[in-house]
């Protein structure tokens, strides 16, 4: 299901399952907390069920006035290549009703069903419905398709 900008702004879902903290809160936490948080992805490969992770020592989400632009860097982890940073860093948030991506021919959020920091779509699709067939992380050992993903903030 495609969610609207207003929903991603305030957050939604169940914290024990499908959940989005809210872009306003992400911005408040990451911009005003003096680089206190790092970003972590936990990724379960679909075929093997093995878990991998990707961490980013720098993660900031700017304000709504800046389109919730995301700044990320300092990759480490065992998820294979860095599928998030290079193709999503410096991008504004895009939803089905607010096209901020750099793809001139269509809105990346519309056909794949998820709001995210899309550039020209990207190399990791961790915030989409698995049923779309687009739920993956490029370069993941054992194959890119995911069974589960978690994206979360950790205190440094």
Domain count, the chain: 1
**Cα–Cα distances in angstroms (integers) from residue 24 to residues 8, 77, 104, 112, in the given order:** 9, 28, 27, 23
Tell me the pLDDT tens digit for each residue of 123-145: 999 988 777 888 999 999 999 99
The residues with which 42 forms a beta bridge, in sequence order, are 53, 150
Q: What pLDDT does residue 29 have?
A: 92
Non-local (6+) Cβ contacts of 60 within 8 A are 30, 31, 35, 70, 71, 72
The region of weakest confidence among 21-30, 96-105, 112-121 is 112-121
Angle at the Cα of 99 from the Cα atoms of 139 and 62, rounded to 5 degrees: 75
Tell me the pLDDT tens digit for each residue of 66-99: 999 999 999 999 999 999 999 999 999 999 999 9
**Chain-wide mean pLDDT for the chain?**
92
**Count of alpha carbons within 13 angstroms of residue 7, beta-carbon side:** 15
Q: How far does Cα 105 stand from its chain's mean position? A: 22
pTM: 0.93
Query: What's the rounded mean pLDDT across residues 107-119?
Result: 88
**Cα–Cα distances in angstroms (integers) from residue 53 to residues 25, 39, 81, 113, 153, in the given order:** 24, 10, 11, 23, 13
Burial state string for 5-30 with b = 16 or more CB within 10 A and e = fewer than 16: bebbbeeeeeeeeeebbbbbebbebb
CATH number of the domain bearing residue 126: 3.90.215.10
Percent of the chain with pLDDT over 70: 99
Rg (CA), the chain: 14
The range of the structural domain enclosing residue 21 comes to 5-155
Percent of the chain with pLDDT over 90: 76
């Amino acid at each position: 299901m495609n969610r609207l900008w207003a929903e991603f702004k305030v957050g939604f879902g169940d914290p024990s399952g499908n959940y989005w903290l809210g872009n306003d809160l992400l911005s408040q936490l990451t911009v005003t907390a003096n680089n206190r948080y790092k970003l972590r992805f936990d990724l379960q490969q679909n075929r093997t069920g093995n878990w991998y992770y990707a961490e980013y020592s720098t993660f900031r989400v700017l304000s709504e006035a800046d389109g919730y632009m995301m700044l990320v860097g300092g990759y480490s982890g065992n998820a294979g290549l860095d599928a998030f940073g290079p193709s999503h860093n410096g991008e504004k948030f895009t939803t089905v009703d607010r096209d901020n991506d750099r793809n001139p021919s269509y809105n990346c959020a519309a056909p794949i069903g998820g709001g995210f920091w899309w550039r020209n779509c990207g190399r990791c699709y961790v915030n989409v419905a698995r049923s779309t067939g687009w739920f993956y992380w490029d370069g993941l050992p054992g194959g890119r398709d995911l069974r589960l993903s978690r994206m979360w903030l950790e205190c440094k």
